[in-house]
Amino acid sequence: MAENPGQNAAEVRFAGVTKTFNTGLTAISKLDLDIRAGEFLTLLGPSGSGKTTALNLLAGFQAPTTGQILVDGNDISGLPPHKRNIGVVFQHYALFPHMTVRENVSYPLKQRRVGKAEMARQVDDALRMVSLQAYGDRLPRQLSGGQQQRVAVARAIVFRPRLLLMDEPLGALDRKLREAVQLELKRIHRDLGATIVFVTHDQDEALVMSDRIAIFDAGKIQQIGTAEELYDRPATQFVAQFLGESNIFTGSLRRHGDTCSIDSPDGVIRSGTVADTLAGDDAAIVVRPERCRLFERGKAPDDWNSVDAWVSDIVYLGALRKVLLTLASGETAVVICQPDVEIPAGPEVTLGFPVSAARTVTAQWN
Amino acid sequence: MDEEKPTSLFARRLLVVTVTLTALWLILPLLVIVPISFSGENSFAFPPRTWTLQRYVDLAQPMWIGALINSLVIASLVAVGASFLGTLTSFAITRSTSRLIVIVRALVLAPQVVPIIIVGLGIYLVFLRLDLNGSYVGFVLAHTVLALPFVVIPVAATLQTFDRDLERASASLGAGPIATFIQVTFPIIRPALLSGTFLAFLSSFDELVLALFLQSPSLVTLPVLLYRRMTDTIDPTVAAVATIQLLFVTTCMIIALFLQRRKDSNDQAPAAET
């Protein structure tokens, strides 16, 4: 984040925003979201979860059915997109094909009637920021995909917007290039200090880049927080399954003061926590695969949760190994372990994990 | 394509022969008119036995000049009108969400499928009431209806594949709807619009059937005059006009092809890696 966020960065608030299309489809329902000045916020979710609609509403490409969108406290609902002063980077670049790189990048300055000399200076700065100084006279189609996306970024930041929106901007790039551009975007975010709202369905991308992540599903935010918060303390089964891998046990809940347990088909699973928001008796307990260990059948520590399991496969991932298990109930489970950890001779084993690693979440997510 | 079988050589030769014959079949009748235009005889006999430039001198008569000017004026107005209306129609067809737009599309493209003689008769009867027969306005209106598809088809096709994100991008960068149209949308549909306008001009310039209905002694277009001089008097001056038209259209086509090729070679410039 910039030294003094707020100066170059806008603060955004969605207040009870609903968007229903003519077709009757509700893309977003009663969305409340506060985006802090200068933060890199990622909207993460499966396709059709409403994250892109949220972005389009903010950019002004669509109008909310009800609710307000405030930027720095001002309702911008009545402003057309060209008066919002928000930079947008599109998934498929949306570079003007008949203009050179320089003409593309000077476009927003031309609309603002910036003087010639000043324009040249700012365009140079923006092109330098994305390392494309030498490509000013090329046409977009003469550039590679990664270069085109960098031009799109330069064009969106050259007029120093205080809010920058990116809609799956790396979706069309191959993996290696994507990682390079991710780091470059983080650096640009630091240099620019602007608030960035980034849409993606790629959880790794979200984890690498974001200050905070908002997880969308079915038009609602399921949970918002830092990557760490979401990964370690998922609030719902959906979040636990969407972000990273999880072993999940479902059943009816029993509360024991500050702790709880559930009666799952694979036995009683104890958890160190009760989710405050938990309503009803249907709950799930999730545990991350790297917090699990494998033991010879019946040899798990007494104060751990233990479940009978059968090894169905072992996958070598280079730095790690992934053991795929089948449980007595027919459910599957995964254990991820370091290569130096010994895996007991199977196939009959016991899956064990500390009670403190088991987290209670809401079972239904809609 | 390197490992071609021996039979494909035969197939390729057959293709060359077929294409050449077809081309000759199409072009020879056109080319016959060229020597005839220099014929010294007062007929269309081929091949000519004597030679003269008299046909071309005869073209200076007010009758021919007047018809040519009428045709040029009408065709130019039609080109302008059809490109303007055609562009608007194309936007409507490709962007309207109304279900009735299907009807508009069908109506606009109808002149391409309805027999021209029926269109001609219909327009003639309506224009009788409106007193538009034999007037510039009548000609321009009627020919614009015919020319509209030549503009709508290529422009709508371009708009169909047009990336709407370009317009959103332009808006997000600070350009209002009009500025966006001028700077982004129009330059991208311009090639299609230009070729459509060119075809609209030509469609009016050599249109005969409607013109026969709409003509009056005071307003005769070039195709009408050519037709009359052929059917009434067998005037070889027609051959001279035809030769000039042939030359003109061929030149236009060659220029268009040349421009197209230059654009294509630009498009194929290699993409550079960092």
Domain ranges of chain A: 6-232, 245-361
The answer to whether the Cβ–Cβ distance between B172 and A107 falls below 8 Å is no
CA distances from B163 to A84, B70, B158, B168, B239 (A): 22, 41, 10, 9, 49
Residue B190 contacts by C-beta under 8 Å, 6 or more apart in sequence?
A: none
The answer to whether the Cβ–Cβ distance between A144 and B171 falls below 8 Å is no
Task: Write the pLDDT tens digit of every residue in B224-234.
Answer: 999 998 888 88
| Closest Cβ–Cβ partner in A85, A92, A135 for B165 | A92
Nearest to A94 by CA among A112, A77, A80, A81: A81
pLDDT of residue B48: 82
pLDDT of residue B272: 43
The answer to whether the Cβ–Cβ distance between A98 and B187 falls below 8 Å is yes
- Considering chain B, what percentage of its residues have pLDDT values greater than 90? 53
More confident residue, B29 or B181: B181
Interface size between A and B, measured as CB pairs under 8 A:
86
B21 touches chain A (CB under 8 A): no
| Closest Cβ–Cβ partner in A88, A139, A142 for B172 | A88
The answer to whether the Cβ–Cβ distance between B174 and A159 falls below 8 Å is yes
pLDDT of residue A279: 56
Which amino acid does the sequence have at B210?
Answer: L
Within 8 A of A97 by CB-CB distance, chain B residues are 188
Name the 3-class secondary structure at A197. Answer: strand
Rounded mean pLDDT, B163-189: 95
DSSP structure string for A243-267: SS--EEEEEEEEEETTEEEEEETTE
B175 touches chain A (CB under 8 A): yes
Task: Mark the ranges of chain A whose per-residue pLDDT is less than 50.
Answer: 1-3, 5, 365-366
Q: Rounded to whole angstroms, how far apart are CA atoms A331 and A219?
A: 29
Question: From A112, which residue of chain B is nearest by alpha-carbon distance?
Answer: B174
pLDDT of residue A278: 60
Examine the pLDDT at B273 and tell me if it is beyond 70: no
Pairing of strands A163-167, A195-200: parallel
Examine the pLDDT at B254 and tell me if it is beyond 90: no
pLDDT of residue B11: 87
B188 touches chain A (CB under 8 A): yes
**DSSP letter at A193?**
-
Q: In terms of DSSP H, where are the helices of A88-168? A: 101-111, 116-129, 145-157
Predicted TM-score (pTM) of this structure = 0.80
The answer to whether the Cβ–Cβ distance between B168 and A88 falls below 8 Å is yes
Task: Write the pLDDT tens digit of every residue in A326-353.
Answer: 998 888 999 998 888 778 877 889 999 9
CA distances from B250 to A122, B96, B103, B243, B245 (A): 49, 38, 37, 11, 8
Tell the CATH superfamily of the B63-220 domain. Answer: MetI-like (1.10.3720.10)
**DSSP letter at A98?**
T
Query: How many other C-beta atoms lie within 10 A of the C-beta of residue B27?
Result: 10
Give the residue carrying structure tokens 């207040």: A15
Query: How many other C-beta atoms lie within 10 A of the C-beta of residue B148?
Result: 27
Q: Rounded to whole angstroms, how far apart are CA atoms B66 and B63?
A: 5
pLDDT of residue A260: 85
Beta bridge partners of B48: none
Average pLDDT score over chain B: 88
Least-confidence region, from A25-34, A356-365, B251-260, B264-273: B264-273
Residue A285 contacts by C-beta under 8 Å, 6 or more apart in sequence?
A: A248, A249, A250, A262, A264, A269, A271, A358, A359, A360, A361
Question: From A177, which residue of chain B is nearest by alpha-carbon distance?
Answer: B274
Query: Taking the domain A6-232, which CATH number applies?
Result: 3.40.50.300
Beta bridge partners of A19: A28
pLDDT of residue A281: 66
CA A164 vs. chain centroid, Å, equals 16
Q: Rounded to whole angstroms, how far apart are CA atoms A231 and B244?
A: 79
In this structure, are residues A38 and A211 in contact, taking their beta carbons and an 8 Å threshold? no
Within 8 A of B164 by CB-CB distance, chain A residues are none
Question: From B167, which residue of chain A is nearest by alpha-carbon distance?
Answer: A94
The answer to whether the Cβ–Cβ distance between A80 and B176 falls below 8 Å is yes
| ipTM entry | 0.83
Examine the pLDDT at B271 and tell me if it is beyond 80: no
The answer to whether the Cβ–Cβ distance between B274 and A146 falls below 8 Å is yes
pLDDT of residue B268: 53
**DSSP letter at A83?**
G
Q: What is the largest CA-CA distance in chain A?
A: 78
Q: Rounded to whole angstroms, how far apart are CA atoms B265 and B27?
A: 29
Q: Rounded to whole angstroms, how far apart are CA atoms A203 and A184?
A: 18
CA A55 vs. chain centroid, Å, equals 14
pLDDT of residue A275: 63
pLDDT of residue A123: 96
Query: How many other C-beta atoms lie within 10 A of the C-beta of residue B106?
Result: 10
Query: How many other C-beta atoms lie within 10 A of the C-beta of residue B47?
Result: 8
In this structure, are residues A294 and A335 in contact, taking their beta carbons and an 8 Å threshold? yes
H/E element holding B265?
helix B237-267
In CATH terms, A245-361 corresponds, of 3.40.50.300, 2.40.50.100, 1.20.1250.20, 2.70.150.10, to 2.40.50.100
Q: Rounded to whole angstroms, how far apart are CA atoms B72 and A212?
A: 67
Phi, psi of A317, deg, nearest 5: -110, 25
Tokens coding A230: 């979401």
| DSSP 3-state percent helix, strand, coil across chain A (nearest 5) | 25, 35, 40
Within 8 A of A147 by CB-CB distance, chain B residues are 274
Sign of CA dihedral B42, B44, B45, B50: positive
Give the residue carrying structure tokens 């006999």: B45
In this structure, are residues A294 and A301 in contact, taking their beta carbons and an 8 Å threshold? no
| Closest Cβ–Cβ partner in A81, A112, A135 for B172 | A81
In this structure, are residues A257 and A263 in contact, taking their beta carbons and an 8 Å threshold? no
Radius of gyration of the CA atoms of chain B, in A = 24
Q: Rounded to whole angstroms, how far apart are CA atoms A255 and A257?
A: 6
Within 8 A of A141 by CB-CB distance, chain B residues are 267, 269, 271
B264 touches chain A (CB under 8 A): no
Tokens coding A338: 């370091």
Nearest to A208 by CA among A189, A191, A223: A189
Rounded mean pLDDT, B90-101: 90
Examine the pLDDT at B3 and tell me if it is beyond 70: no
Which pLDDT band, with edges at 50, 70 and 90, does B264 fall under? low
